[in-house]
Copies of this chain bind each other. A is one copy, B any other.
Amino acid sequence: LTPPTRVSVGRAIAWIDAATNCLDIEKIGLETATGRVLAADIRAANPIPAVDRTAIDGYALHAEDSLGAGAYNPLALTAIAVEAGEALPAGADAVVPRDEVETDEAGRVVLVEPVVSGANIERAGAAAGVGVLLVAAHTGLAPRHIGMLAVAGRVTVPVFHRPRVRLAIAGRARSSAGLDGNGPMLRALIERDGGIVIAAALVDAFAGGADFVIVAGGTGRGHLDRSAAALAASGRVDIHGVALAPGETAGFGHTADQVPVVLLPGAPAACLWNYELFAGRAIRRLGGNDPTLPYAFARVVTARKIVSPIGVTEIRPIRRLADGRVEPLGAFGETEMMAGLAGDGFIIVPEAREGYPAGAQLTAFLYDQGRTGAEPVL
């Protein structure tokens, strides 16, 4: 068993980054690609639009034929009815709006002014020429990307494999109902970060068939704390102990097959924050995602002094005030998931700081989508 060596948060993050790289690429259908992470730049293979086409419902014609048309010299021309988005018929180079022209009994369009070549036409390639970057590698595909790629004629896209995450709950029950709440919470977090959860008992946690392993609970040094010993017995422990509050007992190592493992403390708030900073980062990196914390953030001013121990990176819940400033809430503790729920977000006090004086600028991470000001009334 590796002796406890408490490292800095920065050192633990560096361990995660060294232990994880993007997984392999698979090709999937566009209609199942939302939320997946693009593994290569997608460029326009054809011009968009592919051909000259009409921008409106109307009649397509050859503009030159309309020369000389006037109020006192109406010209009746053969024209083809077209609808917005349709390819322009051969020989046509302009479209007149359906609602603005008359047709005669022979179905011809009666013009009372000449039409300009190119009127109401979208030229091939007007939106994007061949080779134009449509969506960049490592983009998490949102609905609008799916729409654009469909417009561009993509049927499949290359994406990174979703990381298979073996999850073992090794701690004891901590809730009033005798449940370990970390299981449902971690499952939700892993899925948010694009991972596929494979539940396992501690005894099977370090077997093959996974890209990453999380063991929650049992990371302390008590007689019930078995997870570091179990990892040491079937692989190796590189780090045991991180200077992070809440939770200082996280562990890091590898299985015998070199699959990276993170051991999370069992106390709920400690489990959550050690997941967010370390295990979640690993899963996001494996899946090709942005590895940073998946929260909105903003520069804010603290309305009150924030006191935090030096030598420990501390996650502190905050509340936003009506004037846009923030104030600290009580520290996360063993049971203080409540503090996280009551607040609007959190700050991270680096280990070199003892906190911040009132009026200091700092970065606040926010639980909601980062909305300031009022939504416009429509």
Contacts and interface: CB of A to CB of B under 8 A. Distances in A.
A272 B348 contact: no
Contacts of A175: 150-153
B49 A335 contact: yes
Which of A33, A180, A362, A371: most chain B CB closer than 10 A?
A371
A42 to B, nearest CB: 11
A378 interface: yes
A335 B122 contact: yes
A327 interface: no
Contacts of A49: 176, 334-335
Contacts of A81: 222-223
A55 interface: yes
A31 B183 contact: yes
28 contacts: A9-B378, A10-B377, A33-B184, A48-B338, A49-B334, A57-B220, A81-B222, A81-B223, A83-B220, A83-B222, A83-B225, A84-B222, A85-B174, A148-B341, A149-B181, A150-B175, A150-B184, A151-B335, A151-B337, A153-B175, A153-B177, A297-B375, A298-B372, A363-B373, A363-B374, A369-B369, A369-B370, A370-B370
Interface in A171-203: 172, 174-189, 191-192
B85 A266 contact: yes
A152 to B, nearest CB: 7
Contacts of A86: 172
Contacts of A188: 34, 141-143, 146
Contacts of A296: 296, 369-371
Interface stretch (A72-80, A228-236, A251-259, A287-295): A287-295
Contacts of A363: 373-376
A191 B146 CA distance: 13
Contact of A299 (B176, B179, B372): B372
A57 B378 contact: no
Contacts of A154: 177
B144 A185 contact: yes
Nearest to A370: B370
A317 to B, nearest CB: 10
Interface string A235-270: 000000000000000000000000000000011100
A362 B374 CA distance: 10
B333 A55 contact: yes
